Amino acid sequence: MQTNLLTILRQAGIITLAQEESLTQQTMASGLSVSEALITSDLFQADEITEQLSLIFGLSRTTLHQYEYAALCQQLGLRELITRHNALPLRQSNNTLMLAVSDPTNFQAEDDFRFATGLQVELVLADFRELTSAIRRLYGRAIIEDKSGLKEINQEELAHLVDISQEEVEHIEDLSQDNSPVSRYIHQILLDAVRKSASDIHFEPYENLYRVRLRCDGILVESQQPPSHLSRRLSARIKILSRLDISERRLPQDGRIKLKLNQETAIDIRVSTLPTLFGEKLVLRLLHSNASDLNIDKLGYNEHQKQLYLNALQRPQGMILMTGPTGSGKTVSLYTGLNILNKPEINIATAEDPVEINLPGINQVQVQPQIGFGFSEALRAFLRQDPDIIMLGEIRDLDTAENAIKASQTGHLVLSTLHTNSTAETIIRLSNMGIERFNLAGSLSLIIAQRLARKLCSHCKIPQPLDAQLQHIGIVATDLIYQANPDGCNECTLGYSGRTGIYEMMHFDESLSEALMTGASIHEIEKLAIANGMQTLQMSGIEKLRQGVTSLSELKRVLHF
pLDDT at position 67 = 85
pLDDT on residue 196: 81
Range 166-169, long-range pairs (CB < 8 A, 24+ positions): 169/236, 169/246, 169/247
Q: Long-range pairs for 203-208 at CB < 8 Å and ≥24 separation?
A: 203/234, 203/235, 203/238, 203/281, 203/282, 203/283, 203/284, 204/281, 205/231, 205/235, 205/276, 205/278, 205/279, 205/280, 205/281, 206/278, 207/277, 207/278
pLDDT 10s per residue in the chain (561 long)? 344 677 777 776 667 777 777 777 766 665 566 666 665 666 666 566 777 777 888 888 888 878 888 888 878 878 878 888 888 999 998 889 999 988 888 788 888 898 888 889 999 988 887 888 788 777 765 444 454 555 566 555 555 554 444 444 444 444 344 557 788 888 888 888 888 888 899 999 998 899 999 998 888 988 888 888 888 889 998 998 888 998 898 999 998 888 777 666 778 889 999 999 999 999 999 987 665 568 899 999 999 999 999 999 999 999 999 999 988 989 899 999 999 999 999 999 999 988 878 888 999 999 998 899 999 999 999 999 999 999 999 998 999 999 999 999 999 999 999 999 999 999 999 999 999 999 999 999 999 999 999 999 988 899 998 888 888 888 888 888 999 988 777 777 788 988 999 999 999 999 999 999 988 899 999 999 999 999 999 999 999 999 999 999 999 999 987
Identify the pLDDT of residue 117.
86
CA angle 300, 303, 305 (to 5 degrees): 70
Q: How many helices (H) and strands (E) does the chain have?
A: 22, 18
Q: Is 8 helix (H, G, I), strand (E, B) or coil?
A: helix
pLDDT of residue 69: 86
Residue 147 DSSP one-character state:
-
- Which residue from 305, 244, 318 is spatially nearest to 275, judged by alpha carbons? 244
Phi, psi of 175 (to 5 degrees): -70, -15
Taking a C-beta distance cutoff of 8 angstroms, is the pair 558, 452 a contact? Answer: yes
Contact 390, 415 (CB under 8 A): yes
Contact 243, 477 (CB under 8 A): no
Q: What is the pTM of this model?
A: 0.73
Q: Are 170 and 124 in contact (CB under 8 A)?
A: no
